[in-house]
Amino acid sequence: MMDLEIPDKTHDESRQGEALVLEPAAGKNNGRKLYIESYGCAMNFSDSEIVASILAEQGFETTADHNLADVIFINTCSIRENAEQRVRNRLKEFTVAKVRNPGLVVGVLGCMAERLKSKFLEEEKLVDVVVGPDAYRNLPELIDQVDSGQKAVNVLLSREETYADISPVRLNSNGINAFVSIMRGCDNMCSFCVVPFTRGRERSRDPKSIVAECTDLFNKGYREVTLLGQNVDSYKWKQPHPTLSKGEGSDEPEAKEVLSFGEDLGEATTNFANLLELVALINPDLRVRFSTSHPKDITDDVLYTINRYENICNYIHLPVQSGNSRILDMMNRTYDREWYINRIDAIRRIIPDCAISTDVITGFCTETDEEHHDTVTMMDYVKYDFAYMFKYSERPGTLAAKRYADDIPEEVKQKRLAQIVAKQQEYSFYRMQARIGKVEKVLIEGYSKKSDKDYCGRSDQNAMVIFPVGDNYKPGEYVNVLIERSTSATLIGVVVD
């Protein structure tokens, strides 16, 4: 059964199963074609770009048609039962291709590979290679192993791997927005969540390599980066602190080396607020977004940094999961209702006009109607701009699966979910309506899905804005759009500069 959710870019339903296409590295064509498709969160899509980059170095060309492929990879998600089911159904569709071409290599990557390990090979006979998210550098050897007639598995997790030195390929992106991974793994152990088991311990990537990647993206014409991590607020890098030097806040079209990584400050720590600032300073025309924040870790320092830089977008994804303190405790979220409200109040105080979105789980173990009602009243309090809403799905191996019975009947989970989905629709509409008559700064992403007479792009607050195509502006540029009307998901207006 499908979860109901209101999509945005971090877990975009329309991108689920999307295939990645790129050329082989110059002069290295090995005559083999790779087909790779991805499921789940933005981190998985970002990882597929790393995988494609590693294999392009080996001479692989990618194809968008799995029937033409010599290697099929599917980058998987384990977050809920239905995400795994989707992958298993998709694998069945590759059976025909395998019968037609017995030399075809079929590989499973990502979270499901990590969770099931070699069991995957027993359960799905079609699969030749199983590779966890920290083992992608080993892919060329694993493919060789399969070529020599064996099955291959590498699901080792690492405490260091951040793929910092691998520049991801972005060939089928729109050339305007890119995801940049700043950390991997998660140390939080929320009791419902499989991520700490599938993606391992939390580790941060060297800020120097993050700034270099974002600068390179800007110089190639990209105008928006989304910094990705399971819990960006616990980003931490203990090395000489990068300091700001020449060209601070440069508004030249070409971003020069605006940062130097000075020794003079000694062994300081770069935290998330520092990192945000470093990326914002690359160029005022580079928009900076980030996901996901954790209510226990988001600091006022981060909020002040967002407010200080015009190009750090006023949009925070702050998963609440539940509005009830007893359930939050059972979820091991390490904050309670009052703490979460305190963080919301801080956002409202420090960043006027900040959009806030959230994740909610309904029907967690032992949740009563009254406790569910606390989630509803939290939604009334915050009036979220967007929400991703899910029924609790027990995941093997998690703390909740070990400690608590999954005792809320399916119909009750469904009823509670339907109630909050309806409520969220009201608040999304309310937030959209409040923009009518305002002028939004929009980064144009391309033609709207419905018509090539309209462009679409996002506002600072991450709302999708649709407006007529014109001669004086094009994708990759900013325009001011006067909002005239809205649906619950889209703002519609006209360009006013």
Which residues make up the interface to ligand SF4 (CB under 6 A)? 186, 188-190, 193, 195-196, 230-231, 294
Sequence letter at residue 304: Y
Verify binding: residue 39, ligand 5AD, rule CB under 6 A: no
Give the nearer residue to ligand SF4 in terms of CB position, either 189 or 422. 189
Give the nearer residue to ligand 5AD in terms of CB position, either 271 or 393. 393
- The angle that helices 337-350 and 300-308 make with each other, rounded to 10 degrees, is 20
Least Cα distance to 467 among 497, 439, 492 occurs for 492
Distance CA 112, CA 462 (A): 30
196 contact, one of ligand SF4, ligand 5AD, none, CB 5-8 Å limit per kind: ligand SF4
Least Cα distance to 389 among 425, 356, 429, 421 occurs for 421
The DSSP element (H or E) to which 129 belongs, if any, is: strand 129-131
Verify binding: residue 237, ligand 5AD, rule CB under 6 A: no
94 contact, one of ligand SF4, ligand 5AD, none, CB 5-8 Å limit per kind: none
Distance CA 105, CA 324 (A): 48
Give the nearer residue to ligand SF4 in terms of CB position, either 53 or 234. 234
Distance CA 396, CA 115 (A): 9
Verify binding: residue 232, ligand 5AD, rule CB under 6 A: no
Q: How far is the CB of 381 from ligand SF4 (least distance, A)?
A: 21
Q: Which two tokens stand for residue 309?
A: 């830089």
Verify binding: residue 107, ligand 5AD, rule CB under 6 A: no
458 contact, one of ligand 5AD, ligand SF4, none, CB 5-8 Å limit per kind: none
Give the nearer residue to ligand 5AD in terms of CB position, either 179 or 455. 179
Distance CA 392, CA 404 (A): 12
| Cβ contact 33:59 at 8 Å | no
Binding segment for ligand 5AD (CB under 6 A), chosen from 44-52, 121-129, 151-159, 392-400, is 392-400
230 contact, one of ligand 5AD, ligand SF4, none, CB 5-8 Å limit per kind: ligand SF4
Q: How far is the CB of 461 from ligand 5AD (least distance, A)?
A: 20
Q: Which long-range contacts (CB under 8 A, 24 or more apart) does 163-166 make?
A: 163/50, 163/136, 163/137, 164/205, 164/206, 164/209, 165/209, 166/50, 166/53, 166/54
Q: Determine the size of the site formed for ligand 5AD (CB under 6 A).
A: 12
Least Cα distance to 383 among 347, 339, 429 occurs for 429
Q: How far is the CB of 358 from ligand 5AD (least distance, A)?
A: 8
Q: Which residue has the tokens 């993206």?
A: 217
Cis peptide bond N-terminal to 292, omega within 30: yes
Least Cα distance to 192 among 334, 365, 337 occurs for 365
Verify binding: residue 336, ligand 5AD, rule CB under 6 A: no
Q: How far is the CB of 357 from ligand SF4 (least distance, A)?
A: 14
Least Cα distance to 429 among 385, 392, 399, 391 occurs for 385
Distance CA 102, CA 348 (A): 59
188 contact, one of ligand SF4, ligand 5AD, none, CB 5-8 Å limit per kind: ligand SF4
Burial class (CB in 10 A: 0-12, 13-18, 19+), 433: middle
Strands of 151-242, DSSP E: 152-154, 177-181, 183-184, 203-204, 224-228, 236-238
Distance CA 341, CA 344 (A): 5
Least Cα distance to 292 among 163, 202, 352 occurs for 202
Give the nearer residue to ligand 5AD in terms of CB position, either 143 or 318. 318
- The angle that helices 272-280 and 300-308 make with each other, rounded to 10 degrees, is 10
The mark string for 296-335 relative to ligand 5AD (x by CB under 6 A, - otherwise) is -----------------------x-x--------------
Contact with ligand 5AD (CB under 6 A) among 145, 393, 428, 461: 393
Look at the chain and count its residues.
497
Verify binding: residue 386, ligand 5AD, rule CB under 6 A: no
Q: How far is the CB of 486 from ligand 5AD (least distance, A)?
A: 26
Q: Which of residues 76-95 bind ligand 5AD (CB under 6 A)?
A: 79-80
Give the nearer residue to ligand SF4 in terms of CB position, either 45 or 455. 45
Give the nearer residue to ligand SF4 in terms of CB position, either 114 or 224. 114
Distance CA 435, CA 440 (A): 8
Q: How far is the CB of 327 from ligand 5AD (least distance, A)?
A: 13
Give the nearer residue to ligand 5AD in terms of CB position, either 76 or 393. 393
| Cβ contact 462:315 at 8 Å | yes
Q: How far is the CB of 191 from ligand SF4 (least distance, A)?
A: 9
Residue 43's Cα: distance from chain center in Å? 5
Task: Tell me which residue has its CB nearest to ligand 5AD.
Answer: 359
Residue 195: helix, strand or coil by DSSP?
Answer: helix
The mark string for 337-366 relative to ligand 5AD (x by CB under 6 A, - otherwise) is ----------------------x-x-----
Q: How far is the CB of 173 from ligand SF4 (least distance, A)?
A: 25
Q: How far is the CB of 231 from ligand SF4 (least distance, A)?
A: 5
Residues that bind ligand 5AD (CB under 6 A): 79-80, 192-193, 319, 321, 359, 361, 390, 392-393, 395
